[in-house]
Structure formats: C-alpha cells, structure tokens
Amino acid sequence: MGVNEHIIYSNKMKRKTLQRIVHFLLDHLTHTEFVDADRVPSEGGVIIAINHMSHLDTPVMMVNPTRKDITALVTTKYQERALIRWFTNTAEGIWIDRDIADFTAVRKAAQALDDGWALGIAPEGTRSKDNQLHEGKPGTIMLAMKSGAPVVPVGITGTEDAFDKLKRFRKPRITVRFGQPFTLPEFEPHERSEQLKRWTNILMYRIAELLPEEYRGEYAE
C-alpha cells in the first residue's frame, strides 16, 4: 500500500469510527426516527436538501440508514470551533465560504457527486435561528442543474432543542422525513434565471411539506 492509499484508508477508517460513535450516541440518548429513507437512491450521486436548525443536523444525517457515503457542505465560519472543525474534517465534509462565490467548494461538491457520493446541503444557506424555513438560495438547484444529480428533499424536526433537553436528562425526539427524489429538466439558456428561482421555490415547498406547519415559515402556504 502506497503512502496516498494508506492516508485514504486511514481517513475512511476514522470516518467509519465516527459514524459508529454518532450512531451509538443517537441510539442511546435520543429517539431518532428516519421516515421513508428508502426514497434515497441507494447509489450514485444525490443531493440531500435539508432544513437546517441545529449543529446536530449533520451528525444525524451522517447515520441515515440508506447512504453511509454522505458528506455535507459546512460554512467556514465554524472552522473557529475546534469540535465542529474536527468533526467536519473527520467526516470528510466540504468547507464553503458563504460570504464569497466559493468556486473551489462548488468544484469539490460537484466532484463528490460525480464520484457517487450523497451530498447534504441546506438550501437556506445558513442555520435557522427561529426554527422557521427561510428563503431558499439558488445554489442547491444550480448544483443539481450542473451535475444532473437527483435531489431528495428532507424535513428534520427535534434537533432544534435537542441539546437543551439532553442537559435536562430528557431524550429528544428527532424525526427525519425524506421526500420523493426529483431531477431537473434541461433549462433553456434564456430562462435560466427564472427557472433557478422557480425550482428553488419548488424545492423549498417540498421540504415544507415534510415539516409540521409551525416549522414552515415563509413556505407555510
């Protein structure tokens, strides 16, 4: 085994160990339920589009029962937090600077999809601090358009107050609901901007459908 192969093998083992630890903790400290996880394609590049309310969302998605080969886009502002930085690096997450047009992160995300990974993305672009769905950004649909990967909408509840409940020795109830996957039609060049906006709204409404009404925010109607 060469040096590079050894490094890759070592990273994979660290990631698998992390997944086992996360699975053990969630299994013993929470009531976590994955609903319709079989809707996620079992192989090939796929975008998992989630609502995002907690730092716990990524660990929860990492142990979903269908795709263990899942990574995620994580904002670079969390690199200042040692635990999140360590977790993201071990989980082989992709750092993205949301304050600029981070083409390096986009290329890495597209490559991950091309390599057959599942890629978790929060279309809102940031964590919701009031637990409501906010306006979706076009980046997720743009990546789906360029990669041709299917998109699976996902609604997560229960992570928003999970840490507070754990501090009070209460088991949080976390539910992850998967919607039907969909692929984008080919966009006409002169309709690209309009179609990005349209399909971003479609994606956000499909996520909203998977959430209780009190979480739907701007997509309640």
Tokens at residue 145, please? Answer: 């358009």
**Quick one: pLDDT band at residue 11, thresholds 50, 70, 90?**
confident
pLDDT tens by residue, 56-87: 999 999 999 999 999 999 999 889 999 999 99
155 or 75, greater pLDDT: 155
pTM for the complete prediction?
0.92
Check residue 100 and give its pLDDT. Answer: 81
pLDDT at 24: 96
pLDDT in tens, 101-118: 788 999 999 999 999 999
Distance of alpha carbon 96 from alpha carbon 75, whole angstroms: 5
What's the average model confidence in pLDDT over 45-62? 96
Domain ranges of the chain: 3-219
Average pLDDT score over the chain: 92
Distance from C-alpha of 12 to C-alpha of 74, rounded to nearest angstrom:
19
The rounded percent of the chain whose pLDDT value lies above 90 is: 83
Residue 186 has pLDDT above 90, yes or no: no
- Give percent above pLDDT 70 in the chain: 95
**CA distances to 16, 38, 62, 65 from 20, in Å:** 6, 20, 10, 12
Assigned CATH topology for domain 3-219: Glycerol-3-phosphate (1)-acyltransferase (3.40.1130)
Calculate mean pLDDT across residues 148-166. 97
Residue 6: pLDDT over 70: no
Average of pLDDT values for 131-154? 95
How many helices and strands, by DSSP H and E, does the chain display? 7, 7
Q: State the sign of the Cα–Cα–Cα–Cα dihedral 66, 64, 146, 116.
A: negative
